[in-house]
Structure 1
């Protein structure tokens, strides 16, 4: 049989699993894993910082539905990526981080080797759903298999494989190809029957759709139509019913939406964690009682978190929704669902502040000027507004880091990853003057990769949301006005075309110019 180094065989195994792109920064502790990469079909993208690599992998995964892959050095390389891994875990995003680690014999001794951690695998295991040290080169194939299984067969999330530097160069046989097993956990027939029975009798059904429902979007639309049920989408589920009369693109934290949940006689929740940042963003602690909750989730542990269901449906969302749809064949519902959804949209939007309505108008402008654009956000005022209400026209068309872990600096690198993963879909990044400064150098990555992301910088001169929160709670604002650079000049220093506008009056025209350029562009919106 053919042989190769661990690094060469690793590249082969990744190719076999359909990996098209890796995000990483080479270093002496990992160069052996790069052996064979240049001659492969896998594209390597070099960010400016390992956190950027993690966020790019996250954006790639959300845009494509495939795992995002990082290749990082031991020590500071992996610890720099922990923030991105924590965001991926909170939002159930599949990410594989492959790193180096010092030779096996040095582990646990703390003899002062370069990039040494007391226990790197344990450090990574605090955020990864699975972390493994490849102590024996011949175990590489099954370890990679376990990593992909962990990422894709249960609740998705980040996994980590570390390879000691003395193992990387060892030669092993290239394992024979084998068929991948894409099967997800099969749903239980009794649970499906119970869900069908409850929904079949429902007179006022409601559907909650989270990020885990994205892969079941088409069948979920048909199920909503059969039930005549409004569909409330969380941040990561936004766009599943884009443009449909039954859509409710509003946060479940709205009082009007919570009232609707209390009025429903049966609620079907698909792929949603019932996390506080979606369902109780104001931390009011007054989530409504639910008469009958059917919950579809691929993770049995997740069923015990948030809201415990009356009827659990454990398994893949796509399988579950499809089988429920078949079970309800022939049901003719007339529940005035479209009228109910229209009232919810109006009540939710009407309860927003004037400043948030301005932000949402900007998001609407993006959709009008660039139909079908994917909008990737950072933690910034305009994105907070959109998470409360944004009428997105497609699944995977809106995601950001303002829910779950809530990392700052996510937007720009995640947008680059999304753009590279799905280059036929236009990408607009909404980021703030504070958040962009966390990852400002990644503008250079966009130029290197010719990723035509439009970076929209919402410049309100600091951390305005935090400043207002401090004022509202009687705290003298401090530390909320960091100075910003000339963003246009910085972008131009990387060779990127850029312009600044005052307020939103000229935004549509600037956006149109940027879109027609088909190249990385930056638009700074200066907010008074």
Structure 2
């Protein structure tokens, strides 16, 4: 039986292959290599966003991937465009984000010539390869399907991550005679389950445990698996411990979810646990590899279960009693089914921890210094997060600002996006734009950031205004690299010079925002923060609230800093 085919150009086929994966957004600055692809994508109803910097395009695509659980696409023009993308590529690698980076390139004859002084040209693949899971070039039109599919396959297989596909100009207009694009399950593994023997072994250990806990990481949220994890937590009748990357709160589990290391209830639950089921986490430095610090006590009595897509990750950071290798979107429902007929009774200790954690948050809100001008950064976090819309998307950025946020936040958002593993500052505004695009601009967005971090990609305020996103940016302004000021003070003493960490106190970020077509407001008293946020949301524009914060407190009073530093205890873990 013959297969029906159609004649398409290479750029059309690339879109067909992405559409088969449910991809319908594209970020980048169009150049001669990509104008055809951009124009056709928009004609087909894609959301096509041109930011002001290619690195922003990469971060926006990463945010879309986190919000949808699917790969996302960012492009960079040849030469400088790819150079600008590199920071986002490295970030996606460390953050385990499956972003497809398409790179333009001159025709291959240009690369092969023995010439000097070629315009806008550098051999790009070799520069990018160390930071991606797969790197390839579509040299011939009939390679299009296999290379795009291999890129998607590699991006999503094992530990997710970015891929780079080069798109030389000589193939753009070439034609192909091809059948309809294959569905994902026809060319790659989809929905890998764990073996039933391992599921039964894990379920038996869970039933036998007296004090089980769930350790929930970044991957639960990027896989959009919250509903099944909620069902598992209820079947286990246990607390949920967040890793620093897994700070989104699962609907229905808000009260029993405690941040590892920053909540007294979390520490008590970890120390007293006799079984830990880890999901969506690499068990990395921020959780002390599951074997240091808070895990040391009672370690000999604790069983470990790990849901992990990459079999090569099993046992690397710590021994695992029962590995459950597969896609957590499939494995977690398997566990729920296995435990369905043997539900656990809710322990009284869980309610004690819930009360304890709620009391800790309330106490912190009371203790955050108030009535000061400039505002104390702890009070900024309390007031801003109290004003956070219940259905909103929270984005974090900044050094000291984020550290204050871990401790003092009064909100429990269902979606939190921040750059936890790589520590790349400046991601916040592009992440917010990407998250808003993925959401279709329906839910309010709040970015809480520092002034230095916001200025990395401040031009994307115009992008947010152009897209009319419901975004409010709350900026802690100390006119300095606050975290680095703290380093200087701890290293050399409070009276030392602080080289290269201060900048002009004449800058008004609210006025900058107005220049980009956004709402702007200046605040230097804590009681004005929440009303300003409300006015910004009511303006119908993206808003920037410039909050003057006390620079001394911002650099010297960072909470839980000793806990944070244990993540970097070289040789101690």
Distance 1:387 1:303, change over 3 A: farther
Partner residue, 1:474 = 492
Distance 1:82 1:102 in 2: 19
Structure 1: which 5+ residue stretches go unaligned? Answer: none
The answer to whether residue 326 in structure 2 is matched with residue 322 in structure 1 is: no
The answer to whether residue 255 in structure 2 is matched with residue 250 in structure 1 is: no
Distance 1:252 1:193, change over 3 A: farther
Residue 351 of structure 2: which of 338, 343, 349 is its match?
338
Partner residue, 1:204 = 211
Q: Deviations over 1:417-444 (max 9, x none)?
A: 1111102111111121101111111111
Residue 271 of structure 1: which of 271, 280, 287 is its match?
280
DSSP-derived class of the 2:480 partner:
coil
CA displacement at 1:243 relative to structure 2 = 6.0
Partner residue, 2:430 = 413
CA displacement at 1:74 relative to structure 2 = 1.9
Q: Deviations over 1:274-332 (max 9, x none)?
A: 222x3259xx9635234211111111233244333221111111222211122122233
Distance 1:388 1:193 in 2: 38
Distance 1:287 1:197 in 2: 26
Distance 1:83 1:143, change over 3 A: same
DSSP-derived class of the 1:438 partner:
coil
Q: Deviations over 1:57-100 (max 9, x none)?
A: 11222222232211211222122112112222222222111111
The answer to whether residue 234 in structure 2 is matched with residue 225 in structure 1 is: yes
Q: Deviations over 1:117-171 (max 9, x none)?
A: 34x2232221112221112211111222222222234322211111111122222
1:287-306 alignment, distance < 5 Å: 288-289=295-296, 290=299, 291-306=302-317
Preserved contact between residue 226 and residue 251 of structure 2 (Cα < 8 Å): no
CA displacement at 1:8 relative to structure 2 = 2.4
Greater Cα offset, 344-353 or 358-367: 344-353
Partner residue, 1:60 = 64
The answer to whether residue 398 in structure 2 is matched with residue 379 in structure 1 is: yes
Distance 1:494 1:424 in 2: 22
Greater Cα offset, 214-223 or 27-36: 27-36
Residue 449 of structure 1: which of 443, 462, 467 is its match?
467
Distance 1:466 1:345 in 2: 32
Partner residue, 2:169 = 165
Q: What CA RMSD, in Å, does the superposition of the two structures yield over aligned residues?
A: 2.7
Partner residue, 1:15 = 19
Distance 1:471 1:36, change over 3 A: same
Residue 545 of structure 2: which of 503, 523, 526 is its match?
523
TM-score (norm 2): 0.84
Greater Cα offset, 68-77 or 147-156: 147-156
Structure 2: which 5+ residue stretches go unaligned? Answer: 369-375, 551-573
Distance 1:285 1:379 in 2: 27
Preserved contact between residue 275 and residue 404 of structure 1 (Cα < 8 Å): no
Greater Cα offset, 330-339 or 403-412: 330-339
Residue 487 of structure 1: which of 492, 506, 509 is its match?
509
The answer to whether residue 132 in structure 2 is matched with residue 125 in structure 1 is: no
CA displacement at 1:254 relative to structure 2 = 6.0
Distance 1:474 1:347, change over 3 A: farther
CA displacement at 1:253 relative to structure 2 = 6.1
The answer to whether residue 196 in structure 2 is matched with residue 189 in structure 1 is: yes
Distance 1:431 1:524, change over 3 A: same
The answer to whether residue 526 in structure 2 is matched with residue 511 in structure 1 is: no
Distance 1:241 1:363, change over 3 A: farther
Distance 2:197 2:273 in 1: 23
Distance 1:189 1:496, change over 3 A: same
Count matched residues. 520
